[in-house]
Amino acid sequence: EVQLVESGGAVVRPGESLRLSCAASGFTFDDFGMGWVRQGPGKGLEWVSGINWNGVRTAYADSVKGRFTISRDNAKNSLYLQMNSLRAEDTALYFCASVREGTTGTSDYWGQGTLVTVSS
């Protein structure tokens, strides 16, 4: 059974940092790119970042570029999102998802999400 399990979400103050993790199982992790998609309270889906299968290529939404860093550890079947200089508008449920090609593409598998709240 395919599983993507996110963790690391928390309540933090503006300007603080947070690191999200996503543990994958049930599929060959390094056959896929991976990505993060977020959903603000009562809002739609917003693509945040993606990374290709070996971590060489990464991509970011303009809204997070320079503040967030995506990475992966294929030996641990894990995906990460380092989030610095957090803002109130980063408050969202963060999903990790598989990516068929490159850094941006069809997502067959999704986690259940981890909640990040940025509030003073």
Partner 1 sequence: DIVMTQSPLSLPVTPGESASISCRSSQSLLYSNGNNYLDWYVQKAGQSPQLLIYLGSNRASGVPDRFSGSGSGTDFTLKVSRVEAEDVGVYYCMQALQTPATFGQGTKLEIK
Q: What's the rounded Cα separation, in Å, for the pair 14 and 22?
A: 23
DSSP state of 110: B
8 Å CB contact between 35 and 97: yes
116 strand-pairing partners: 92
If one asks whether residue 114 binds partner 1 (CB under 8 A), the answer comes out as no
Residue of 95, 114, 116, 118 interacting with partner 1 (CB under 8 A): 95
What are 94's two structure tokens?
A: 């963060």
Find the shortest distance in angstroms from Cβ 59 to partner 1.
4
If one asks whether residue 104 binds partner 1 (CB under 8 A), the answer comes out as yes
Q: What's the rounded Cα separation, in Å, for the pair 117 and 10?
A: 6
Residue of 111, 114, 116, 118 interacting with partner 1 (CB under 8 A): 111
Find the shortest distance in angstroms from Cβ 54 to partner 1.
17
Q: How many helices and strands in the chain, by DSSP H and E?
A: 0, 10
If one asks whether residue 62 binds partner 1 (CB under 8 A), the answer comes out as yes
Binding site for partner 1 (CB under 8 A): 35, 37, 44-47, 50, 59-62, 95, 97, 100-101, 103-108, 110-113
